């Protein structure tokens, strides 16, 4: 139970900001992009970034054909791996709360399983993905701990996204009235 409390505390409180004043211009750009215009520096950065940026972008992406959505997700995820690898080295942290591309990749992967685009479905997908990202069910925690660099950082969010997407599909199939279907 203590491990879950620590994960919840990490999700709600990113590490303190340090050494931003001494960064080079490329390093500042990396932090600007990786934190999605410094959303990552806010408290509960992952959850706020998904709520404020991830949901509206998902609603735009949902208009794409399935291959377009998939292509976007692959490109975003690979870029997220690179950003988190470089950004975590720069910040001296593993899975820094300041970098939020992993959170967005996990949410968008979860929503790829959505059977319909309706506000209750999006809300449920958001809650499932954020909750599972914090709890880190197997093998997410293992991936985060053992896989180095950006692959481990993004990998645990993708596992949460797959689980959240599967749960979303199940709920929509078993209890469609809960989500207005």
Cα–Cα distance for residue pair 76/102, rounded to 1 Å: 9
Cα atoms in the Cβ-side hemisphere of radius 13 Å centred on 125: 31
Cα–Cα distance for residue pair 153/101, rounded to 1 Å: 10
Cα–Cα distance for residue pair 111/55, rounded to 1 Å: 10
- Per-residue pLDDT reduced to its tens digit, 121-134: 999 999 999 999 99
What average pLDDT does the segment 130-153 reach?
Answer: 92
Answer yes or no: is pLDDT of 43 > 90: no
Q: Is the separation of the CB atoms in 100 and 52 below 8 Å?
A: no
Identify the residue with better confidence: 115 or 180: 115
Domain ranges of the chain: 2-13+43-179
Identify the residue with better confidence: 180 or 66: 66
Identify the residue with better confidence: 179 or 26: 26
Answer yes or no: is pLDDT of 13 > 70: no
∠ CA(7), CA(10), CA(130), 5° rounding?
Answer: 65
């Amino acid at each position: 139970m203590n491990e879950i409390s620590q994960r919840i505390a990490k999700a709600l409180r990113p590490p303190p900001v340090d050494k931003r004043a001494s960064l080079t211009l490329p390093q500042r750009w990396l932090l600007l992009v990786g934190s999605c215009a410094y959303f990552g520096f806010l408290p509960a950065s992952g959850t706020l970034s998904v709520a404020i940026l991830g949901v509206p972008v998902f609603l735009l992406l949902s208009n794409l054909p399935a291959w377009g959505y998939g292509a976007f997700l692959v490109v975003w995820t690979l870029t997220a791996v690179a950003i988190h690898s470089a950004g975590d080295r720069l910040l001296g942290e593993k899975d820094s709360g300041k970098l939020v591309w992993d959170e967005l990749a996990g949410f968008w992967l979860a929503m790829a399983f959505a059977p319909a685009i309706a506000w209750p479905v999006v809300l449920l997908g958001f809650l499932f993905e954020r909750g599972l990202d914090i709890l880190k069910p197997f093998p997410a925690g293992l991936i985060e701990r053992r896989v180095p660099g950006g692959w481990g950082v993004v990998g645990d969010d993708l596992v949460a996204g797959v689980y959240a997407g599967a749960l979303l599909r199940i709920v929509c199939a078993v209890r469609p009235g809960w989500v207005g279907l």
